[in-house]
Structure 1
Amino acid sequence: MNGEPRLGVDFGRVIHGGLLAPGDDDTVFLGGSFEEALASPATAGVYEVLPGLIEAFGGRAWIISKCGDRVRKRTLAWLDQHDFYGRTGLPRQNVRFCRKRPEKALHCEELGITHMIDDRLDVHRAIRDVVPYRYLFGTAEGPEWVRHIPDWASAEIILEDIPVGRSRPATRRSR
């Protein structure tokens, strides 16, 4: 890794099904039919904010998600169904899966992730020594070592944490 900033983003309850109450599951995506899962919406604001973040990171962004085979297939199909790659600029090959949340730390270390958005505090605990900039997405606030982002509109603060002279554009543009 060359030291360039790299963004990691969780899928469930961040890109998709976000802003649920802590502990709630997205039952349509997880337990509904395959068709219902594909028809379910993205988290409000993701398409307005995430493309600018991916651009600011020079395309060095990954989805890092915990799930089993069934949900992995639904996730990949949902990303295609919603033209996620085209709408955000995330490279299609930049999607990673693991079976347990603490394993996200292994992906973050391997990829050199410097900034991670996830809705689970246990993930942030696992990546605490690996990822310097951690963002807890959603309604629950966390300890002082993780920055709270209640929604996608608030996620633009991540731009402030990209070191000057790196991929960050000189001025933020409106979308």
Structure 2
Amino acid sequence: MPAVREVLGVDIGGVIIDRARNDETIASFFDEDYLQTPAIPGAFDALRQLVKQRFGPNVFLVSRCKRGTPLNKGVLEKTEEWLAYHGFFDYTGINPENVRFCDQPFQKAGICREQGITYFVDDRLSVLAHMVSVVPNLFLFRPNMVEVRRSGRSLYGIQRVNSWQEVLKYLLPEGQLAVTG
């Protein structure tokens, strides 16, 4: 019997690129120095380990980002620039062609279906709620408990994680975890 193809999907804002807590936007992406927005601690190292030790080429970035205009960069263009500026693809080993953008949060579920994603990490419960019947393994990253309480949604089938180190504990067998700072 052939092995089931495992595919990891990862949101970008609030999961790879840090954001201000309790904010709907990536904090400094609206400033001139958006390239200085920090990465989430441990994100690059964890994704590198997941590529090398489990998922190989089967890692996709899936993000809701608005495209800009010729005179005003949108979050989509700034996100692409941020990833390139920080050497994200070279460091993690994720294929830059494995990036998918959409206009609405619910569209992430369709992308996951198309790509056969079996694990997904996002910081928004409202996004994961659309994926419950599509992606068997869902991770709510650094959950905003105000959003969780306000939504009234059950977290059944959604694993809460507070760091990339916790994600690694779920996705890598014991003994394969590297200590990251």
Using structure 1 for the length normalisation, give the TM-score: 0.85
Q: How many pairs align?
A: 162
Matched, 1:44 2:41: yes
Task: Map Cα deviations across residues 46-87 of structure 1 (whole Å, 9 max, x no partner).
Answer: 122111112211220000000111111111111110000011
Higher relative contact order (CA 8 A, sep 6+): 1
Instruction: Read off the aligned partner of 1:46 and give its amino acid letter.
Output: A
4+ residue runs of structure 1 moved beyond 2 angstroms?
A: 20-27, 139-142
Structure with the greater alpha carbon radius of gyration: 2
* AA partner of residue 40 (structure 1): T
SS in 1 for 2:96: coil
RMSD value, Cα: 1.9
Query: Which runs of no fewer than 5 residues in structure 1 stay unpaired?
Result: 161-167
Note the residue ranges of structure 2 that are not aligned, 5 or more in a row.
68-73, 149-154
Q: Give the Cα separation in 2 of the matches to 1:172 and 1:50.
A: 13
1:145 aligns with 2:145: no
Deviates more, 1:109-118 or 1:58-67: 58-67
Question: What is the deviation of 1:17?
Answer: 1.0
**Equivalent position SS for 1:3:** coil
Whole-Å separation in 1 of the counterparts to 2:97 and 2:62: 12
1:22 and 1:139 in contact (8 A); partners too: no
Q: Aligned residue for 1:15?
A: 16
2:80 corresponds to which letter in structure 1?
A: L
Which one-letter code corresponds to 2:17 in the other structure?
H
Counterpart position of 1:101: 105
Match of 2:70 in 1: none
Q: Give the match for residue 77 of structure 1.
A: 81
